[in-house]
Chains A and B, each alone.
Chain A
Amino acid sequence: SQELEQSPQSLIVQEGKNLTINCTSSKTLYGLYWYKQKYGEGLIFLMMLQKGGEEKSHEKITAKLDEKKQQSSLHITASQPSHAGIYLCGADDTDKLIFGTGTRLQVFP
């Protein structure tokens, strides 16, 4: 079965700093999704990537899917306290999503 590994597991950055979160799959990715979760709440959809080499941006968040479609990265530029939360990558697995374990991001002033 497909597994997703995220790194780092936890990240603490100072406001204004850039950061990157990685998601590596044990199999080829046919659809990779990034979600954000505030503690104790539901998930908020951020972006979806499907093609090798694809890159998408929304405000200060950029996500990329590598050419081999086995790894994705999420980059946040000039982090703000509002970026704090848990970032989860998810992958298509025959009519359902499987998720990584998440990366907990804390941003301090």
Chain B
Amino acid sequence: DTGVSQDPRHKITKRGQNVTFRCDPISEHNRLYWYRQTLGQGPEFLTYFQNEAQLEKSRLLSDRFSAERPKGSFSTLEIQRTEQGDSAMYLCASSAGQLGEQYFGPGTRLTVT
């Protein structure tokens, strides 16, 4: 296993368009997290899954954002009607249960023009 992967690595979209990102966690990890990071800031928690169940969502996650993890494997994060303020790095992480040891993917950098 080569670690957590994310696709695409970069996405440029026009305001108002929908975008979808994918995260493939380490195969034996049951927890999957999404974070958002803007320039000069630490990552901010968005949501997390234990297996296929979405257990918590941050208030940062407006109704334009939706995340899924069908069958408890890969996850997708969709942003509808993108806004310029959505421009950020979207990071995915997975863990085998112990909270702190999260393994991060390389991130998807979103630019909304």
User: Residues of A at under 8 Å CB distance from B?
Assistant: 4, 31, 33, 35, 40-45, 48, 88, 90, 92-93, 95-102
- Bound Cα distance A4, B100 (Å): 15
Mark the stretch among B11-19, B74-82, B103-111 that contacts chain A: B103-111
A45 touching B102 by the CB < 8 A rule? yes
A42 touching B99 by the CB < 8 A rule? no
Q: Which residues of A contact B102 (CB under 8 A)?
A: 43, 45, 97
Q: Mark B30-72, 1 if CB is under 8 A from A, else 0.
A: 0001000000111111001000000110000000000000000
Q: Which of A45, A95, A98 contacts B101 (CB 8 A)?
A: A45
Q: Which residues of A contact B45 (CB under 8 A)?
A: 93, 96-98
B42 touching A42 by the CB < 8 A rule? no
A95 touching B106 by the CB < 8 A rule? no
Q: Quick one: given A96-B48, A96-B56, A102-B42, are A48 and B105 in contact (CB under 8 Å)?
A: no
- Bound Cα distance A16, B46 (Å): 39
A43 touching B41 by the CB < 8 A rule? no
- Bound Cα distance A33, B33 (Å): 16
Residue in A closest to B4 when the chains form the complex, CB atoms: A42
Judge whether B26 is part of the interface by a CB distance below 8 angstroms.
Answer: no
Q: Which residues of B contact A44 (CB under 8 A)?
A: 104
A31 touching B100 by the CB < 8 A rule? yes
Interchain nearest-CB distance for A8 vs B (Å): 14
Interchain nearest-CB distance for A37 vs B (Å): 8
